[in-house]
Amino acid sequence: MKQSSPVNKQGQTEQQFLQAYDASQFDRPSVTVDMLVFTVSDEEEKNYRKLSPKSLNILLVKRGDHPFMGQWALPGGFVSPSESLEEAARRELRTETNLDNIYLEQLYTWGEVDRDPRTRVISTSYMALVNSEALEVIAGDDADEAEWFQLEDKWLRETKTATPDGSITEKWIELHLRHEDVELSATIKVTKTVTGRSVRETREIVEANQIAFDHAQIIQYALERLRNKIEYTDIAFALMPELFTLTELQQVYEVILGKELLAAAFRRKVADKVIETNQYRKNAGHRPSKYFRFNPEWMDQA
Amino acid sequence: MKQSSPVNKQGQTEQQFLQAYDASQFDRPSVTVDMLVFTVSDEEEKNYRKLSPKSLNILLVKRGDHPFMGQWALPGGFVSPSESLEEAARRELRTETNLDNIYLEQLYTWGEVDRDPRTRVISTSYMALVNSEALEVIAGDDADEAEWFQLEDKWLRETKTATPDGSITEKWIELHLRHEDVELSATIKVTKTVTGRSVRETREIVEANQIAFDHAQIIQYALERLRNKIEYTDIAFALMPELFTLTELQQVYEVILGKELLAAAFRRKVADKVIETNQYRKNAGHRPSKYFRFNPEWMDQA
DNA sequence: AGAATAGTGTCTCTAAGACATTATCGG
DNA sequence: CCGATAATGTCTTAGAGACACTATTCT
């Protein structure tokens, strides 16, 4: 398809041009990938009859070097010249979790000039979802200690200001991350600016407690995206083990959405997306629940 | 918040570390932004009574140098060290369209190793929506000639193959771009791989005719995203002029979605999002239609 | 007059929300 | 039997689709 005969203004053919091309003529930023690895796990419950509540967890690593030494950050690293962005993301995922073939989705690319004090770093964030059974499988990565942090967000307050041709809405959101006795927190301000017919959204870290770089705002963004996507896609199943009960599935939706759902409506909605098995979960002090599995055929109608 | 007293394994404080940090220790890719500038414009209609049909348009520039010399590409350029990704995108938008304060959304970051024959280039694509009244305002940019291309896509065929633990669905889509007598086209294959509970989607250019780089697949991706987002957000208004009729608004939805909508249902759906004016469009050989404007307050309920 | 679009009324159908009711276990 | 969850039935409500019908203009 490509012709190599025509010459440019310098009289070069394409081949000559490529040989003479000086790749270092532009100042180049560093490029990294950051991984947002989510899972939903059981918390302990003493009453044998009650169901164990679920929590949403995210994987963080403790920084062993400057900057932000001792603070917690998203796992990730530099993209090597020989791998694509997604390959880099999968490589990072493998070294942190030993897991392969996992739901992975590119989230956003963060390109503020001063987001890393070392040098200009542009970072593409990927969201990965792993099922709770894989929870223990964190690789004992040489340098960093990686841990699952229980993640919660809290709506703090919202202000709306009128402008000549629109409005500005500011929303403060608090993040809480907990692992055993380690507690991290951050406050993010999300600003939505309406001007005429166009809307613009920006994020800003108001305060970050032991969370490195701009990672608190990346986590907040990812949580919002996860919340949106669980409503109109099937990513929830990527968080489930092979067999699950409908109540477990509902709990996953509830912990991500941060609200309770009605069982009847929920079951109707997922009915086509799951396949009944003839196995039951027993020993629970109440009526046993049937196990289901994901129905990969259900998309054919849609 | 940040402590500068602790030292790392090399005995450096944070300040010492940053001074000694060698920014060039990693091979760095080039980083660019690519702009997908969409607009919806009227096509000519001879019958004074009939409404003029609308078409979806995208801005492309003709390449004046290798590689892909003479072919058409997305406007864009390198990100300078002193500007953020979004600033670079707005700068490119300004130089190409003279328009500021426009709907702009980051789409995706393309990171395949060999997507640019010159060197490793990672490119973040942004989608911009401009209203049709601004259509003429293309800056006579020194080097490149920029033109609006009418964009259409066509579903070609789809195959589904079973695999041990899922399936592979391949979808072929043809793009057509037209500006006066210039015709560009491309065939994109979108592969959806279902493995267990996780889904993965990849794109591949089967054939590209006069469209540079991997830009055909970026356009196809953007079109898909635009189609999705118009259903659950209000980006459509970014494509409208200040005043518009409901039929015009409906036409914008129709040309993007590629299907006809029922007027009654459509009007019910947008009723809360618009404000009636007392102006009418006249001289049309049929009942005059009322002009509306966007209602920026409508989001308050939602 | 009549071609063409603007705009509304209303019936149907589907899906979600709300809530009550029945089923079934372990102890 | 009791406490707890599992699972279903059904009434109500909201919204989309379908389509008919009325309104209004310019040549």
Cβ-Cβ contacts under 8 Å for A103 (sequence gap 6 or more) = A128, A129, A130, A235, A238, B197, B198, B199
- C1' (C16) to CA (B274) span, angstroms: 26
Contact B111 A124 (CB under 8 A): yes
The nucleotide minimizing the C1' distance to residue B288's CA is D25
Catalytic residue numbers of B read: 145
Record the pTM: 0.93
Which residues share a beta bridge with B281?
B289
Rounded to the nearest angstrom, the minimum Cα separation between B48 and chain A is 30
Does residue A135 or residue A192 have the better pLDDT?
A: A192
Say if B113 is an interface residue toward chain A (CB within 8 Å). yes
Q: Does the pLDDT at position B185 exceed 70?
A: yes
Residue A109 Cα, gap to closest chain B Cα (Å): 7
A196, B85: Cβ pair inside 8 Å?
Answer: no
* Cβ-Cβ contacts under 8 Å, A104 against chain B: 198, 200
Q: Is the pLDDT confidence value at B244 over 80?
A: yes
Q: What are the φ and ψ backbone dihedral angles of A141, each rounded to 5 degrees?
A: -60, 135
In CATH, what class is B30-232?
alpha beta
The pLDDT of A279-302, averaged and rounded, is 85
For B206, the token pair is: 């089967």
A120-157 pLDDT, tens per residue?
Answer: 999 999 999 999 777 665 655 555 689 999 999 999 99
- Least CB-CB distance to A118: which of B21, B78, B199? B21
Residue A221 has pLDDT above 90, yes or no: yes
Q: Where are the domains of chain B?
A: 30-232, 240-300
Q: Write out chain B in H/E/C secondary structure.
A: CCCCCCCCCCCCCHHHHHHHCCCCCCCCCEEEEEEEEEEEEECCCCCCCCCCCEEEEEEEEECCCCCCCCCEECCEEECCCCCCHHHHHHHHHHHHHCCCCCEEEEEEEECCCCCCCCCCEEEEEEEEECCHHHHHCCCCCCCCCEEEEEEEEEEEEEEEEEECCEEEEEEEEEEEEEECCEEEEEEEEEEEEEECCEEEEEEEEEEEECECCCHHHHHHHHHHHHHHHHHHCCHHHHHCCCCECHHHHHHHHHHHHCCCCCHHHHHHHHHHHEEEEEEEECCCCCCCEEEEEECCCHHHCC
8-state DSSP, A105: E
User: Which chain B residues have a beta carbon less than 8 Å from that of A82?
Assistant: 113
What is the least distance, in Å, from the CA of A274 to any CA of chain B? 11
What are the b/e assignments for B177-189, b being 16+ CB within 10 Å? bbeeeeebbbbbb
What mean pLDDT do residues B205-234 have? 97
Nucleotide with C1' nearest the A285 CA: C26
Please answer yes or no on whether B65 and A209 come within 8 Å at the CB atom. no
Cross-chain residue pair B103–A199, CB shorter than 8 Å: yes
Q: Which residues of A are catalytic?
A: 145
Q: Does B51 touch chain A (CB under 8 A)?
A: no
Q: pLDDT tens across B10-64, in order?
A: 777 777 767 766 655 557 889 999 999 999 999 877 788 888 999 999 999 999 8
**Gap from A154 CA to C20 C1', Å:** 34
pLDDT at A296 over 80: yes
Q: List bases in chain D with any atom under 7 Å of a protein Cβ.
A: 3-10, 15-20, 23-27
B197 touches strand C (CB under 7 A): no
Q: Closest nucleotide to residue B289 (Cα to C1')?
A: C6
Contacts of A26 in chain B (CB under 8 A): 30, 78
Residue B1 contacts A, CB cutoff 8 Å: yes
Q: Are A216 and A188 in contact (CB under 8 A)?
A: yes
Whole-number pLDDT of residue B2: 45
For residue range A28-46, what is the model confidence (pLDDT) as tens digits? 889 999 999 999 998 877 7
B241 touches chain A (CB under 8 A): no
A48 touches strand C (CB under 7 A): yes
Q: What fold does the segment set B240-300 form as a domain?
A: Arc Repressor Mutant, subunit A (1.10.10)
From residues 237-256 of B, list those within 7 angstroms of strand C by Cβ: 245-247
Q: Is A273 on the interface with B (CB under 8 A)?
A: no
- Only one residue has tokens 């809480």, namely A176
Q: Is the peptide bond before A296 cis (omega within 30 degrees of 0)?
A: no
Q: Indicate yes or no: strand C within 7 A of the C-beta of B284.
A: yes
Nucleotides on strand C lying under 7 Å from protein C-beta: 2-10, 15-20, 23-27
Which of B20-29, B236-245, B278-287 shows the lowest per-residue confidence on average (mean pLDDT)? Answer: B20-29
pLDDT digits (tens, 9 = 90+) for A67-107: 999 999 999 999 999 999 999 999 999 988 888 788 999 99
Cβ distance of B197 and A240 shorter than 8 Å: yes
Contacts of B252 in chain A (CB under 8 A): none
Q: How far is the CA of A148 from the C1' of C24 (A)?
A: 37
Which stretch of B114-118, B195-199, B243-247, B286-290 has the lowest confidence by average pLDDT?
B195-199
Q: Given B21, B111, B238, which is nearest A198 (Cβ)?
A: B238
Confidence at residue A210, expressed as pLDDT on a 0 to 100 scale: 97
Query: Which residues of chain B have a CB within 8 Å of the CB of A209?
Result: 1
Report chain B's mean pLDDT, rounded to a whole number: 90
For residue A4, what pLDDT band results from cuts at 50, 70 and 90? very low
Instruction: Give the CATH class of A235-300.
Output: mainly alpha
Indicate if the pLDDT at residue A2 is higher than 50: no
Residue range A247-272: mean pLDDT, rounded:
96
> CB of B20 within 8 Å of any CB in chain A?
no
* Contact between B101 and A65 using a beta-carbon 8 Å cutoff: no
Which residues in chain A are contacts of B14 at CB distance < 8 A? 66-67, 69
